[in-house]
């Protein structure tokens, strides 16, 4: 979802503090931002989205560019905020999320095609954790939920476009192999409700 031709007007109104403009921007970007933060396993993705938007609001005067540039800029802020959160988390020496997941000791359920319709955030995140490196996940999530181009992603993750393409290619190949090797059991984690089905 994009704002489209009215983006300049929306941006100008947002700079002036227009509520309608911020509602438009929030509705357009909060979902992809949540997806990026959820896919990375942020502890409080909703809270982080609120922080990211407050940073956008305070820094909007410094932004110059079109809608694509704005989207890329927003995800850059989110990416940096996520890195900050990882550092804080590592300093707190918290237990890795994989070790506290409910059902981790439970036998995985058989994957059925219709079960894909009910994939949870935890299932997706567990699969990413098991199959992808952190860099591959960065690239895939920015492309998948952020809708960014290779060039924009390369800028955010501070890599060359070729390196970014390589990360994307390897990440997708890893996922593909995982599904080929585990046709009946693709998900390393299944939520308790799925086990009860």
Residues 81 and 51: beta-carbon distance below 8 Å: yes
Number of DSSP helices (H) and strands (E) in the chain, helices first: 10, 0
Q: Which of 2, 31, 88, 193 binds other proteins (CB under 8 A)?
A: 31
Give me the sign of the Cα torsion angle 63, 64, 67, 71.
negative
Q: Which of 77, 121, 157, 163 binds other proteins (CB under 8 A)?
A: 121
Phi, psi (5° rounding) for residue 80?
-65, -40
Cα 113-117-118 angle, rounded to 5 deg: 115
Q: Which of residues 154-183 bind other proteins (CB under 8 A)?
A: 165, 168-169, 172-173, 175-176, 179, 183
By the rule CB under 8 A, 15 interacts with other proteins? yes
Local structure of residue 96 (DSSP, 8 states): P
Contact positions vs other proteins (CB under 8 A): 5-6, 8-10, 12-23, 26-27, 30-32, 34-36, 38-39, 46, 49-50, 53-54, 57-58, 60-61, 113, 116-117, 119-121, 124, 127, 140-141, 143-145, 165, 168-169, 172-173, 175-176, 179, 183, 186
């Amino acid at each position: 979802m994009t704002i489209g031709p009215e983006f300049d007007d929306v941006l100008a109104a947002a700079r002036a503090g227009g509520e309608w403009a911020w509602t438009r921007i929030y509705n357009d970007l909060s979902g992809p931002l949540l997806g990026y933060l959820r896919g990375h396993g942020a502890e409080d993705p909703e809270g982080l989205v609120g922080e990211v938007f407050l940073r956008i609001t305070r820094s909007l005067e410094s932004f110059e560019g079109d809608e694509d540039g704005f989207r890329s800029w927003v995800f850059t802020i989110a990416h940096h905020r996520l890195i900050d959160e990882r550092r804080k988390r590592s300093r707190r020496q918290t237990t890795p999320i994989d070790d506290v997941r409910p059902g981790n000791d439970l036998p995985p359920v058989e994957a059925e095609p219709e079960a894909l319709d009910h994939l949870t955030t935890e299932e997706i995140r567990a699969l990413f954790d098991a199959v992808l490196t952190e860099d591959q996940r960065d690239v895939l999530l920015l492309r998948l939920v952020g809708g960014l181009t290779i060039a924009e992603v390369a800028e955010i993750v501070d890599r060359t476009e070729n390196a970014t393409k390589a990360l994307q290619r390897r990440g997708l190949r890893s996922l593909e192999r995982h599904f080929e090797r585990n046709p009946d059991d693709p998900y390393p984690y299944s939520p308790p409700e799925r086990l009860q089905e």
